[in-house]
Amino acid sequence: MPFDVVVIGGGFGGLFVAGELRRRGLEAVVVDREDVPGGVAATRVVDGQVLEPAVGTFLLPHPHLSRALAGIDVVPAAPAAARRYVSTRDRLVGLEPGPKAIFAPVLPFGAKLRMLAEPFIRPRLDGDETLSEFLGRRLGRRAGGLVAAVAARGVFAGDPARLSASSSFPALVELEREAGSLLRGALRRLRGRPKGAPRPRSHLPRTTMADVARRLAAELGDGWRAGFPVVAVRRTDDGRWRVEGPETLTARHVVLAVTPDRAQALLGDADPVPFPAAPVAVVWLGGAVDRMPIPAGFGYLAGPDTDLVGLGCLFESSYAPSRVPSGRSLVKVIVGGAAHPDVMELGDEALVERIVAETSRVLGVDVEPDFSQVVRHLPGIPQYEVGHGARLGELERRWPPSSGVRFAGWGYRGVGIGHLATDAHHVAAGIAEVGP
Ligand SMILES: Cc1cc2nc3c(=O)[nH]c(=O)nc-3n(C[C@H](O)[C@H](O)[C@H](O)COP(=O)(O)OP(=O)(O)OC[C@H]3O[C@@H](n4cnc5c(N)ncnc54)[C@H](O)[C@@H]3O)c2cc1C
């Protein structure tokens, strides 16, 4: 029996698309090669510690994510989450929440003055600049370089001199397009917010991300098929799609919620459009609080003038105390990325040793963990480098939505799960418009 839609991939990208389709009355089946849903966000629970290898927190409320997670039990992160740090030349500097962060002693006075001149810098409204170019032009070389480095590392584990500003941080570029300035645009948005509207805050599931994925898959009933590795996606003579795996499914629409390289392989493209990714390892260190004293806060990001291979460190036990037994500390360090791909060659033991030394140096205390764990993501986090928009355009030229093929997930139009929820909304709306 043909389905309306087959979604390939049961990570959050695919699950959100299926949820949106069901809300529109379309029958979707999600298939995944693994036995459990959730993709890269496969939570491990070890010795009472909750280890989230990919997404661990998300901002709520959010226009689409709030709906995608309706009925899921989420809790705000502990108030400490508002406190964030940046590591500059291995000194840890606390940042005030929001715009007051500009007063942090991480920039010389001249750089701050230059940043304040941002509204008077003439906008440039075309072209595909790198994040470094865009922010350097708007905020000045020093401040722009700092913001670009922490944004690129914090979201993509990426290189700000390679990421496309408009593909990686479209909301930022939009501010310049709308108001001619980031500051003016941000103020305009703030003023336009409905009175009393709650500010988005970091949230986490009361249980685990894997449990959230299980619940979303369970809501699909028969529409969730685990252990279904797809080997090919082929067009039928009557314009439908055949999804070939342990059995063959036929549908009018197919959503490839897998990364672009995999999607193109399944579609049988012999000359695929290249989409880069940056490999990362996630290293957790845990120990008794007195042997691993960590500051209260969300964590730190490595600034541009550091040689740290740990691009960011999340203070799990501080902002998410439910993830650890009491009396223990836990940090999650994101390692490698575009800046340090070579570090991935280290074995787990050597990697942990390096991160223990580095974290001790940054925190200014001896970190003495009695627990460590490593998860590697390969090929890794999608990198929306300059030209990403054109590459997506080429993908759509080869498989236009009118052919019944759509792409979803973190390889395309945003890597955070808020972006995935927004994208799922648009993908499902496009399919609903055509109909079953
Ligand atoms: C270290 C790290 C930290 C992160 N932190 C955050 C964060 O704090 N906040 C945030 O919002 N996001 C974060 N993210 C991003 C977030 O985790 C991802 O956006 C999201 O999990 C990706 O979901 P996806 O469905 O697009 O891809 P995936 O999770 O990769 O899902 C793809 C699915 O497709 C399946 N599949 C592949 N090939 C086939 C095939 N041939 N047949 C059948 N099935 C197939 C796979 O098994 C997999 O389940 C982080 C990511 C990483 C790596």
What are the residues whose beta carbons fall under 8 Å from the beta carbon of 282, sequence distance 6 or more? 53, 54, 332, 333, 334, 335, 374, 375, 376, 377
Residue-wise pLDDT tens digits, 77-96: 999 999 999 998 767 998 87
CA–CA separation, 297 and 299 (whole Å) = 6
**Per-residue confidence (pLDDT) for residue 242, from 0 to 100:** 97
Which residue, by CA, sits nearest to atom 52 of ligand 1? 54
CA torsion angle 223 68 212 255 (round to 10): 40
Which residue, by CA, sits nearest to atom 2 of ligand 1? 54
CB 14 within 8 A of CB 33: no
Residue 1 has pLDDT above 80, yes or no: no
Q: Which residues pair with 313 in a beta bridge?
A: 300, 333
**Per-residue confidence (pLDDT) for residue 158, from 0 to 100:** 98
Which residue, by CA, sits nearest to atom 35 of ligand 1? 9
Instruction: Quickly state the pLDDT bin for 99 (edges 50, 70, 90).
Output: low
CB 314 within 8 A of CB 298: yes
Which residue, by CA, sits nearest to atom 9 of ligand 1? 55
State if residue 333 touches ligand 1 by the CB under 6 angstroms criterion. Answer: no
Residue 262 has pLDDT above 90, yes or no: yes
State if residue 12 touches ligand 1 by the CB under 6 angstroms criterion. Answer: yes
State both tokens at 297: 């806060």
Domains of the chain: 3-40+209-275+385-434 (3.50.50.60), 107-192 (1.10.3110.10), 277-382 (3.90.660.20)
Which residue, by CA, sits nearest to atom 11 of ligand 1? 416
| 353 alpha carbon – ligand 1 mean position (Å) | 28
**Per-residue confidence (pLDDT) for residue 264, from 0 to 100:** 98
State both tokens at 57: 């927190």
State if residue 280 touches ligand 1 by the CB under 6 angstroms criterion. Answer: yes
Residue 98 has pLDDT above 80, yes or no: no
State if residue 415 touches ligand 1 by the CB under 6 angstroms criterion. Answer: yes
| 12 alpha carbon – ligand 1 mean position (Å) | 7
Residue at 316: amino acid letter: E
